[in-house]
Amino acid sequence: MSKPRMQAAPEPARTTRPPKSEPTESDGWKSSAQTQRLLHELRVHQIELEMQNEELRASRAEVEAGLKRYTDLYDFAPVGYVSLSPEGTLRELNLPAARLLNRERSRLVTARLRSFVSQGTRPTFDAWLASVFVQRDERTCEVVLIRDDLPPLPVQLAAKLSIDGQCGRVVITDTSARKALEEELRQAQKMEVVGQLAGGVAHDFNNILAAMLLNLGALRAHPESPAESEAALEGLDTLTKRASRLTSQLLLFSRRQVLQPQRLELNGALSHLLQMLDRLLGEEVTCTLYRSEPDLWVEADLVMLEQAVMNLCLNARDAMPNGGNLTLETSRVLFDAASVREDPKPRPGSFVCLQVSDTGSGMTGEVLEHVFEPFFTTKEIGHGTGLGLASVYGTVSQHGGWLRVESRLGHGTTFRMYLPESSKAATVRAPAPKIIDTDGKGETVLLVEDEPALLAIAARSLRRRGYNVLCASDAAQALTLWQEHEAIVDLLLTDMRMPGGMNGLTLAERLLDKKPSLKIIIMSGYSAEMPGGAGRRFEFSYLAKPFELAALTATVRSCLDERRD
């Protein structure tokens, strides 16, 4: 038996792999291109990142600049900004708000705004704060803030609720300047009303005084007047003239006094006045005049200006019962448009300032509010009329100027009088000729006066002096008399203000149209009613009320004798 043949085991199959090839030039180029492409993409990406970073830096710089602008606006705004919680707690505030409250900002955060509000205005504040967190529209109120070591400050609070409703955004505005202007306007309006009242009273009083003076003159001139009545007549005459001076002060206050301006050098006028003031002020008061400029010219009525300065100086003397220093100082002040915007009283231009300062007792704020009002006085009864400073106010206003006063109790008082500076050439007026013989020569006078007592005594006085007098109580009666006696009337002597709607000037103008040779005398105590310069349409003589018999007859005679070219 044959043994089986042993077969050889099959060899494992071999995997055929291609032989490794050496890198070629083409493979190297591809690898380099890929690397360059990747590097390019990286560079582009880097540039994009740098551009984005630059944009971010620019945006950040813009945000920081905007934040700085906001911070500057916030901290240097002309008003205070605060954020309030519903309880009224300060959450944040700007620097102006801290200054308004007179505290450091760091000490104010978490403080309650109500604690700075005056007791009198706290109810207003509480109602306003409650409304801020209920209403969506702006809520405003006005309160007074109380600050340490500073006077109370009136402010306006204007608030609006934030978008999230968690706080009120509040604007605090200082209203003290506005309040001062409003008070000044109210004071000016009050003074104007009082001035009109004073002028009206003075008008009627002047008529009464004129009648009294003429009657006194007639009594004293009467040949049968008893000698023992001379003392009584003298006393009545003195009292009547005293009343006339009071009326004159009323007219000065109401700016209706007759103004006779001339070009004056203020320093020279004051130097002359000081010689008289030294005697009036007494030895215990030292009066000094300082001149900052050698020549300061104004257009002013010398008598009225001297009276105003004298009133200020005598008022200062009374404030220094134990003596002190009185200083008069003159200067030139130029007001430009900017200063006028800040202060309503001045107007642009050059002005002369006369400052009168004393070292006296000073005045309280309450007294300062009424210092220029007529009949207001702090002196004892019988020691002052209350018309001195009121007449100063009227004189300065009538000259186109204004007054300032500063005073503190125990620290003296300073008055500043501002008058427009004059640049006109000096004018010299020829003195009026003296009238010696005032008797009439049979001329006819048409006398028009609405005060019966004055009409009667004036007519009687003129008739005694040889004049023929036709009497009328108003313009309508005067026109009726004119129609009957036009041919013989030589002079119209008429009051300026009369009932019936026609004043003396209008009446005179009508009669002059019919008789150009007619002479005219206007009687009045109101300078504001008397036209001058370009406003004067015809020539006339002026007779200021109240007048004495001598002034009446002298004016009538002078006007009749005056020649017209």
pLDDT at 340: 60
Per-residue pLDDT reduced to its tens digit, 6-27? 455 555 555 455 555 555 555 5
For residues 281-294, give the mean pLDDT: 84
Rounded Cα gap, residues 375 and 378, in angstroms: 10
Least confident of 88-97, 199-208, 484-493: 199-208
- Distances in Å between the Cα of 219 and the Cα atoms of 210, 324, 552 are 14, 48, 16
Per-residue pLDDT reduced to its tens digit, 409-466? 888 999 999 999 987 544 434 344 454 567 888 999 999 998 888 899 899 989 988 9
3-class DSSP state of 47: helix
Decide which of 73 and 475 is more confident.
475
For residues 382-390, give the mean pLDDT: 58
The whole-chain average pLDDT of the chain stands at 79
pLDDT at 535: 46
Rounded Cα gap, residues 380 and 369, in angstroms: 19
Per-residue pLDDT reduced to its tens digit, 453-503? 889 989 998 998 899 999 999 999 999 999 999 999 999 999 988 888 888
Percent of the chain with pLDDT over 70: 74
Per-residue pLDDT reduced to its tens digit, 315-326? 888 889 888 999
3-class DSSP state of 369: helix
Q: What is this structure's pTM?
A: 0.47
- End-to-end Cα distance, the chain: 193
For residues 169-190, give the mean pLDDT: 80
- In 254-299, which residue ranges form alpha helices assigned H by DSSP? 266-281
Residues 6+ apart with CB under 8 A from 462: 440, 445, 447, 469, 552, 553, 556
pLDDT at 118: 93
- In 379-537, which residue ranges form alpha helices assigned H by DSSP? 388-398, 452-464, 475-485, 504-514
Per-residue pLDDT reduced to its tens digit, 290-314? 888 888 899 887 777 887 888 888 8
For residues 329-355, give the mean pLDDT: 79
pLDDT at 190: 66
- Distances in Å between the Cα of 399 and the Cα atoms of 299, 347, 421 are 8, 14, 11
Per-residue pLDDT reduced to its tens digit, 159-178? 998 888 888 999 999 998 88
Q: Is the pLDDT of residue 534 over 60?
A: no
Confidence label for 121 from pLDDT (cuts 50, 70 and 90): very high
Decide which of 378 and 492 is more confident.
492
pLDDT at 466: 92
Most confident of 260-269, 338-347, 491-500: 491-500
Sequence-ordered strand ranges (E) for 266-341:
285-291, 297-300, 324-335
pLDDT at 429: 40
Least confident of 133-137, 360-364, 433-437: 433-437
